[in-house]
Amino acid sequence: MYKNFLPDEYVKSIFQISPDTLLEKGIKGIITDLDNTLVEWDRAEATPEIIEWVRMMEQAGLKVTILSNNNELRVKAFCDPLGTPFIFDARKPLRRSFKKALALMGLKREEVVMVGDQLMTDVLGGNRFGVHTILVVPVASSDGFFTKFNRKIERRIMAKLKRSGLIEWEE
């Protein structure tokens, strides 16, 4: 059961994910979470660094879609200035939103990576759907109300994965 929570990769920041590395793996599209993956959960707009990262991915030929459990107003306000496709109220880890993201990009599961900061939503959802998963360290140390509950469970899962020798990285 715990293996569903095991990401394929772990990075400290979204900026450690390069287009060349993804392309070498046959990846053509990125599904990424928004809050605490790209920017702090309470930051309304993309930072210049995030804008540059998204542009760099797109210029390399990678399609980027934002998949968020947040509401339409929040996600639209963030994505519209970037011109980035998005899915709001995704209800991750349910598969439906992942399937919708794939259709939006016109790609196959093996051509897509899911990037996010939460085991309970991003990694579990991506793994259950059958895409490559990358867990990133949250960009903020604070979380929204519901995420705080998930983080408590995630800490226990991470501890179990470490004890089982399934992960080797530092927190």
For domain 2-163, the question of CATH label 3.40.50.1000 is answered with: yes
pLDDT in tens, 11-70: 999 999 999 999 999 999 999 999 899 988 677 788 899 999 999 999 999 999 999 999
- One-letter amino acid of 130: G
What pLDDT does residue 160 have? 74
What pLDDT does residue 1 have? 60
Measured in whole angstroms, the distance separating CA 25 from the mean position of its chain's CA atoms is 17
CB of 69 closer than 8 Å to CB of 98: no
CB of 27 closer than 8 Å to CB of 132: yes
Break the chain into its structural domains and give their ranges. Answer: 2-163
What pLDDT does residue 50 have? 94
More confident residue, 35 or 159: 35
What pLDDT does residue 146 have? 61
Mean pLDDT of 125-140: 92
DSSP 18-56: -HHHHHHTT--EEEE--BTTTB-TT--S--HHHHHHHHH
More confident residue, 55 or 161: 55
Nearest CA to 81 out of 45, 52, 56 is that of: 45
pLDDT in tens, 78-131: 999 999 999 999 999 999 999 999 999 999 999 999 999 988 899 999 999 999
- For residue 5, name the pLDDT band (cuts at 50, 70, 90): confident
